[in-house]
Amino acid sequence: MTRMRLHRQSWGCTLVNDNSVATFYVLDLDRTLFDTEKAIAIMEEVVAVHDQVLARALSQRFREYSEQGESFSVREFIVDMTDEANMQVIEARYHEAARAQNLLLSGAKELLSLVRSRPQARFGILTYGSPQGQAMKMRAAAGLEEAPFLVTSGRHKGEQIAQWQQADGTYRLPEELGGVIAREVVFVDDKPFSFTGFPVDGTGYQVRGVKHVNDEPLPSHVTLVANLAEVVSLETARLSP
């Protein structure tokens, strides 16, 4: 038998399935929630104490990848240049330095608070890159340490989200993101190509970043926004009774 629970609210009671939610927010990590440039600067400072030549090489490689609009795995680069044992020492120092600062971009805390304030909403991180490198970033960002996340190998995240949609129009999220069934999905990312294949009944927001390399046309059902504060405002209005 499917278990049910009762949510009590000031205007009444709503009976919902234990494994279902009204809205699931699929959120990108780098340059959407996470201040990638600031994190790299912290890593460079930490690495410089260990090896200044490596720190300069790290800085140069990150700039090259950023200019091409490509994702760069900091952790894998350092391991390739040194070894896993040195990386673990560097990573421990990096986490200590990073957690002393705020690595969430402006509006990220407010967006996460908005989702967490709604009993029938959940969120998860869908990010592109190396699993160990992305996990390192999640642990470094206060507020994301316990967030469910899934690292994908595909750049077109919209196509992956479309695969979660069921015959009845609901979405069955992967176990890494909680395995819940959502009536709707809201997807927030900073890259246009991430929305390729995104379902037409979904709600999408592309947060326009400082750098945009290889811009592609956005699907008509995706809204271009200036920042996360605009996402919070639009979502607050969209879901207001």
Taking only the tens of pLDDT, the chain with its 241 residues reads 333 332 222 222 233 346 899 999 999 999 999 999 999 999 999 999 989 999 999 999 888 887 776 778 899 999 999 999 999 999 999 999 998 999 999 999 999 999 999 999 999 999 988 899 999 999 998 889 889 999 998 889 999 999 999 999 999 999 999 999 999 999 999 999 999 999 999 999 999 875 554 567 888 899 999 999 999 999 999 988 7
Contact yes or no for 123/80 (Cβ under 8 A): no
Residue-level pLDDT at 210: 54
Residue-level pLDDT at 200: 96
CA atoms lying within 13 Å on the CB side of residue 159: 9
Question: How many Å apart are CA 216 and CA 172, to the nearest integer?
Answer: 28
Q: Which residue has the tokens 């469910």?
A: 148
Residue-level pLDDT at 231: 98
Residue-level pLDDT at 67: 75
Question: How many Å apart are CA 45 and CA 165, to the nearest integer?
Answer: 44
Residue-level pLDDT at 194: 94
End-to-end CA distance of the chain: 32
- What is the per-residue DSSP string for 162-223? HHTB-TTS-EE--GGGT--EEEEEEEEES-GGGGTT--TTSEEEEEP-S---S--PPPTTEE
User: CB-based burial of residue 155 (10 Å sphere; 0-12 exposed, 13-18 middle, 19+ buried)?
Assistant: middle
- DSSP SS3 for 235: helix
Residue-level pLDDT at 225: 96
